[in-house]
Amino acid sequence: MPGNDEVRTPIPAEGLQTKSTSQMAEKCLESISAYRKGPRSPLAKATAIQEITTALTSATPELTEAEINDALGSYLGIIE
């Protein structure tokens, strides 16, 4: 949107996170857990990554692009 130079700051502390952000994180961790308990095939890994990406983008109004990228990097690091 032209002319919209809004700067968003990261969520400062755990206690201030919204319920939906913590639910998003829980969904990401559930996907990782399911992957780790499963066969760890390339398809299972792709499914986990897709689920994580979907969960992160569902919180887009609450997270900045940088926060989403940081979180995705962290969750992908856990999968590896």
CA pair distance 31, 1, nearest whole angstrom: 34
Question: Which residues neighbour 20 within 8 Å (Cβ) at sequence distance 6 or greater?
Answer: 59, 62
The predicted model scores a pTM of 0.64
Per-residue model confidence (pLDDT) at position 24: 84
Tens-level pLDDT at each residue, the chain (80 residues): 444 444 443 444 444 444 577 788 888 899 999 999 998 899 999 999 999 988 888 765 777 888 888 888 888 898 88
Name the residue ranges covered by the structural domains of the chain.
17-79
